[in-house]
């Protein structure tokens, strides 16, 4: 079993930056795809950034150019650097993992989930 624990959520003003972290533990492979999803109140959970087993990244249009996903295998940690934050970025942010090298943004394809960390952006 794999456990994921997110941290780094906060309340900041529009235009600011945050870095989210997701610590992985348990039994898993560093070659598994990992991703960041978010869910705003009253909306579906959406995938926003993924990183494949060999390091390839993919971003949703809404965050491309502002967010950067990365991982440090030595620290067993996934990151999401978020810049130029907007009120529309307000949501609960989740990290997730799936047992494949390749990624997609389909929520049901991910096996393991963290508990989420709240990001609130004020205008």
CA dihedral of 50, 37, 83, 24, whole degrees rounded to 10:
-70
What is the reported pLDDT for 75?
95
Q: What is the mean pLDDT of residues 73-97?
A: 97
Tens digits of per-residue pLDDT, 7-16? 999 999 999 9
Distance in angstroms (rounded) separating the CA atoms of residues 98 and 108? 10
Residue among 5, 42, 34, 19 at smallest CA distance from 110 = 34
What is the reported pLDDT for 98?
97
What is the reported pLDDT for 92?
98
User: Where residue 89 falls among pLDDT bands split at 50, 70, 90?
Assistant: very high
Tens digits of per-residue pLDDT, 27-78? 999 999 999 999 999 999 999 999 999 999 999 999 999 999 999 999 999 9
């Amino acid at each position: 079993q794999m456990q994921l624990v997110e941290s780094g959520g906060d309340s900041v003003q529009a235009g600011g930056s945050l870095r989210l972290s997701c610590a992985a533990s348990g039994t898993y492979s560093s070659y598994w795809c990992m991703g960041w999803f978010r869910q705003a109140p009253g909306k579906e959970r959406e995938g926003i950034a993924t990183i494949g087993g060999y390091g390839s990244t993919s971003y949703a249009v809404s965050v491309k150019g502002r967010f950067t996903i990365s991982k440090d295998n030595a620290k067993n940690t996934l990151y999401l650097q978020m810049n130029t934050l907007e009120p529309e970025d307000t949501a609960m942010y989740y990290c997730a993992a799936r047992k494949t090298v390749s990624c997609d943004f389909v929520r049901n394809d991910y096996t393991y989930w963290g508990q989420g960390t709240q990001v609130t952006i004020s205008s």
